[in-house]
Amino acid sequence: MSYEKELIEKFKKRDALVGIIGLGYVGLPLMLRYVEEGYKVLGIDIDQEKVDQLNDGMSYIEHISSESILSAVHNKQFRATSDFSEAQKPDALILCVPTPLNKYREPDLSFVLNTTDALTPYMRKGQILSLESTTYPGTTVEELLPRLEGADFTVGEDAFLVYSPEREDPANPDFETRTIPKVCGGHTPTCLKAGIALYDSVIDTVVPVSSTAAAEMTKLLENIHRAVNIGLVNEMKIVADRMGIDIHEVINAASTKPFGFTPYYPGPGLGGHCIPIDPFYLTWKAREYGLHTRFIELAGEINAYMPRFVVDKVSDALNQRGKALKGSRVLVLGIAYKKNVDDMRESPSVELMERLQKKGVLVDYSDPHVPTFPKMREHYFDLSSIELTPERIADYDCVLLATDHNAFNYPMIIEHAQLLVDTRGQYSEPADNLVKA
């Protein structure tokens, strides 16, 4: 039996051992999905603290329960390790590692490449390697393929290479890992067949495409579409604000049109691990072909400007009340990148806090999902979340609503705030202490 047929047969019988490298917001939900379908999963992560927590049945992500992880560990369906030599054991190796930007806003593939380099010495014939991290078209073929071939694999015969972009949306009540269609592209037709077998038993719908590059471009189009439309509505917000028009009222009215309009909502900036980053992967790669992606880059400029716009609004609002920005006390509400999650990746709230602090503001924050400001690669505040009470709210010169968690008591906040700056359109009725940004 060929390696391809043997691998596909293992997945049909659920006898395959699945390896997931990178146990974060993408890797953990995927692990649980395989466990739910009866697979055994080996998780690999370089962070020994995370490995120890998982093996003790503890979750470090708010919307993933410790009970689900503990059950998987107790049933011997899941084990975590930091030892890459164990990569020879799984039948599939799924890479769920970060792809950030460097300080020049260029793609940083170090996590993907270092992880692949750590795996290939231990890989064996008959395995499938799937990259799920967002990246520019060509990465799988230009970077991963040579590494497999350099390890004496014949890709498409004794090893299989696919790209299948993650589509996780943490805390979205309408979709889960199983119900979100999975795009998959293979380096060869046999690679694609293996990729479909890898995902078909745990995802309701697998969407095959002609190549890994097509799958890579698909992921970028999805997120660039959102980034460009958010850039448009952010620019509309700036214009509407200058004209004294409530952009949220306009969006709600436009949304009544039953065709030809999709609502997007403005905010204090872009956050998350995809939308603020992915467009730059394509603009960078496009230069190789002599192309300048003006439309995408313009949206990026507008979205990157929004934190400065918000800080200016805070400054103007304080000034109108006879207070200087420097020396003022500002309470930022919500520092996760979106509502009802604990995910801090690329959160615009962090940039707001840094901009305010640089201008001499005494900054605090309140976020029921982030009790202590986490260690981040480029940002850090020695702060813990402030519990909201009427007295504490009234004690600040300005309360800045940056992330509109459902847990906030919005009537109480506006009742007691000296000044409330709303970046999310939470408050529709005008008030003397309310400024929309």
Per-residue CA distances from 15 to 10, 36, 246, 374 (Å): 5, 14, 57, 39
- What type of residue sits at position 4? E
Helices 294-320 and 278-287: angle between axes, nearest 10 degrees: 140
Average pLDDT over residues 285-297: 93
Half-sphere exposure of 176 (CA within 13 A, CB side): 13
Residues recognised as catalytic? 274
Residue pLDDT, tens place only, 316-355: 999 999 999 999 999 999 999 999 999 998 899 999 999 9
Distance CA 133, CA 114 (A): 13
Residue pLDDT, tens place only, 212-223: 999 999 999 999
Q: How confident is the model at residue 174 (pLDDT cuts 50, 70, 90)?
A: confident
What mean pLDDT value characterizes the chain? Answer: 95
Distance CA 437, CA 377 (A): 28
**For residue 106, what pLDDT is reported?**
87
Which domains are seen in the chain, by residue range?
Answer: 3-210 (3.40.50.720), 226-436 (3.40.50.720)
Residue pLDDT, tens place only, 27-82: 999 999 999 999 999 999 999 999 999 999 999 999 899 999 999 999 999 999 99
What percent of the chain has a predicted confidence (pLDDT) above 70?
100
Residue pLDDT, tens place only, 222-254: 999 999 999 999 999 999 999 999 999 999 999
Question: At 274, is the secondary structure helix, strand, or coil?
Answer: coil
| Region at 98 (left for phi over 0; alpha for psi -120 to 50; beta for the rest) | beta
Distance CA 422, CA 267 (A): 9
